[in-house]
Amino acid sequence: MTTDTALAMEPALQQRIPFEVKNALEEDLGGSVSVELDVTAMLIAAETRAHARVITRDAGVFCGLAWVNEVFHQLDPTVVVTWHVADGDTVTPDQLLFELTGNARALLTGERTALNFVQSLSGTASATASAVAHLAGTDTKLLDTRKTIPGMRLGQKYAVRCGGGQNHRIGLYDAYLIKENHIMACGGIAAAVNQARKLQPSRWVEVEVENLAELEQAVQAGSDIIMLDNFSDNDIRTAVQLAKGKAKLEVSGNVTADRLAHYASMNVDYISSGALTKHVHAMDLSMRMTTL
């Protein structure tokens, strides 16, 4: 589990961005990254230069700078991107985000791909910031989940950090999350946790439980984190007392904005929400271009 909220972009994401951008451009251009495949852009004389301004029509938190840079680098490295915001910045309606100067065809060809990345990533960052605000003044941390856009997981998890949230496990490889079917197949909670410790003792071990009896088993087995799946308020309070000083507790399931502060008031360590990355309201953006 990532426990820092720094905006540093990990090497794995830095390596993925060119690949993600290339795929997106190829999707828009019929299989190859070439401005000449944009049939509408070809209406403009090849030598025409232009200047464009990109603004947001929505308030929120910005995310996506590296993706925009990469879009125009791949289409035309001579395009100049001038930034007025950074990832993690709070933005307001009609605020200027960035400017573009360069070949008019390249600016138009890259417009939608660049804005698609920004609108989605900023949507995730904005949703996270809104949720985190409900936890202000508490020790409870907001986590994301694996319910992400296919192919965009590292980017969306970076956007969650830009919004002030923290990352749960990245995938199936970096931490254990033992759920109902794992427990059944392993022969019980204790057996599953013990096997995890034997196989990879350095990994975090989290167990999802559905009632207080399973919670007690998970505590006794030495779980690092215990996820309370759709627990009632009374059971959450009891769980906090049972696990105090023995395991971290995470609340999950049907987490809504109006319940965040309520859960935090019960002193759980984490609240996880799939809505941060799957119920994304895209930031409304606009690009206006003038020829030079």
Q: Are 272 and 250 in contact (CB under 8 A)?
A: yes
Smallest Cα–Cα separation from 5: which of 203, 225, 159, 139? 159
| DSSP secondary structure letters along 195-232 | HHHHH-TTS-EEEEESSHHHHHHHHHTT-SEEEEES--
Catalytic, out of 22, 53, 146, 147: 147
Examine the residue annotation and report whether 244 is marked as an active-site residue of this protein: no
Annotated catalytic residue: which of 57, 112, 244, 246?
112
Residue 179 annotated in active site: yes
Q: Which two tokens stand for residue 158?
A: 């970076």
Catalytic residue among 38, 58, 87, 208: 208
Q: Is 240 helix (H, G, I), strand (E, B) or coil?
A: helix
233 labelled catalytic: no
Q: How far apart are CA 130 and CA 152, in angstroms?
A: 21
Helix, strand and coil percent figures for the chain, each rounded to 5: 45, 20, 35
| Residue 208 annotated among the catalytic residues of the structure | yes
Active-site choice (179, 197, 203, 259): 179
141 is an active site residue: no
- Closest Cα partner for 70 from 110, 32, 26, 123? 110
- Please report where in the chains the tokens 């720094």 appear, as a residue: 6
**Residue 283 φ/ψ, nearest 5 degrees:** -70, 135
Active site members: 112, 147, 179, 208, 229
